[in-house]
Structures are given as structure tokens and as C-alpha cells.
Amino acid sequence: MSRGRDGTHILVINPNTTASMTAKIGVAAMAAAGPSTRITAVNPPTGPVAIQGREDGEAALPGLFALVEDWIAGPEHIDAIIIACFDDTGLWELKQRCPFPVLGIGEAAYHMAALSAVRFSVVTTLSVSVPVLEDNLRRTGLRARCAEVRASEVPVLALEEKGGAGRAKIEAEIAAALADHDIGAIALGCAGMADLAEDLSDKFKVSVIDGIAAAVRLIEALPYQGNRSG
């Protein structure tokens, strides 16, 4: 992967328009990044406020693609992009369009979970997202390694509420996943869960993986390529 003179610059894109979630994503990415990595977290100005299922993902694509095109044409050097939606919204199209690596946080979490354990499960937000994630697992070639994709029925934006019932529901699904299957890792299926991963790993004594941190670390580990970005 090419690097700019000032280290690796990763553009982290939240495909929805909720600025508070973008800020949380940026904090999680910076916490995972090494000292020579620069993180810029952004979101498109138009589109859905949350991505919950296939229809929301499709509605987010025009704003997402326009934002990426603006950054590619802009003056700042970009070494890689992270799509910070666990549905990996627009990921495969952007991999083909962009002159540098593009990783999705779902894609990264699946690979990190598969490296951490023989089998893993995913705990996501709503049931409407489960078919999308199962399709993405097949596309990455890791569906057989995933025991199950479980929905906590916690809406994406509820994860922005302090003191809500969301965490308890997520913990209950993790406990059920561990009881139901012989698994050694859990992938948290939403960017809004990023701040829970460390505590949940300690609580359940298994690898609980945040896709944002996984994507940052995988980008940092990529080998150098030719300078294909501006």
C-alpha cells in the first residue's frame, strides 16, 4: 500500500448522516491506529440517518459515492478507505473504483474473527440486517466459519443513547451465542457497538471484535504497493 510522506492517511466513512455516530467511529479508529496513521472520519451530507437493511443501504449509495469521488479529486492524499457500516455498504463497487485499498468493517471483522477462532458468531442490531450480513459472509468466503448471525433487536440509533437497554440486549445475545455453539469469537455487527468490544471481551472471556479497530489494523498491516493515489 502506498503511504504519504506523513504516514498512512485513512479516510473512515460512516455512510449514514448521523454526525454523533461518525464522531464515535472516529474515536474508535484513532484508538486502534498506530502513531504514524492519520484518521479522518466523515459522513455524507445526504442519505439515511441509519442503515438498517438492504433498502437503507441502497439509499445511502448516492451520497457515499459522491463523497468518495470528492475526496479522490481533492488535494489530500488518501492511502485507504474504511466503510464504517457493518453492512459493508457500497464496498464491492468502491473496491473496483478506488485506486487504493477499501475495507469494510464487516469484511474486516469476519476475517479477524476467523483468525481468532475456528468458528465465530455475529451479533448485530435488527433482524432486517441478517440477510445482508449472511450474503456478505458468503461473498468473503467465510460463511462456513460463522455459526450464526444473531439480531439483538437494538436499533442502530439506540446505541447512541446513554444508559439505554441496548447493551443488556447485546450481552444477552452474546451469552446465547456462546451457549448455543462451540465458538471462540464474536463479531459485533454495528459500528455503533465499537465502544463495547473491550468490556465485552473481558466479561465473556472470548475475542469480541469491533470491525472498526479490525479494519484499521488490517490496513496498517497491508504490504506496500505502488503509489496509486494522488
Condensed to tens digits (0 to 9), the pLDDT of residues 160-172 reads: 776 667 889 999 9
User: Residue 119 pLDDT > 90, yes or no?
Assistant: yes
The predicted-structure confidence for 120-159, as pLDDT tens digits, reads as follows: 999 999 999 999 999 999 999 999 999 999 999 998 888 8
User: Residue 227 pLDDT > 50, yes or no?
Assistant: no
Rg (C-alpha) for the chain, rounded Å, is 17
- Rounded to whole angstroms, the Cα distance separating 33 from 31 reads 6
The predicted-structure confidence for 47-85, as pLDDT tens digits, reads as follows: 999 999 999 999 999 999 999 999 999 999 999 999 999
Detail the DSSP E strand segments found in 88-170: 102-104, 120-124, 146-151
Mean pLDDT of 4-30: 91
Task: Give the full edge-to-edge strand order of the sheet including 207-210.
Answer: 146-151, 120-124, 185-189, 207-210
| φ, ψ of residue 197 in degrees (nearest 5) | -60, -45
Mean pLDDT of 162-189: 92
How confident is the prediction for the chain on average, in pLDDT?
A: 92
Task: Please give the pLDDT value at position 129.
Answer: 95
User: Residue 7 pLDDT > 60, yes or no?
Assistant: yes
Mean pLDDT of 187-198: 93
- Rounded to whole angstroms, the Cα distance separating 149 from 92 reads 21
pLDDT band at 188 (very low <50, low <70, confident <90, very high): very high
Share of the chain above pLDDT 90, in %: 87
Closest CA to 230 of 60, 13, 78: 78
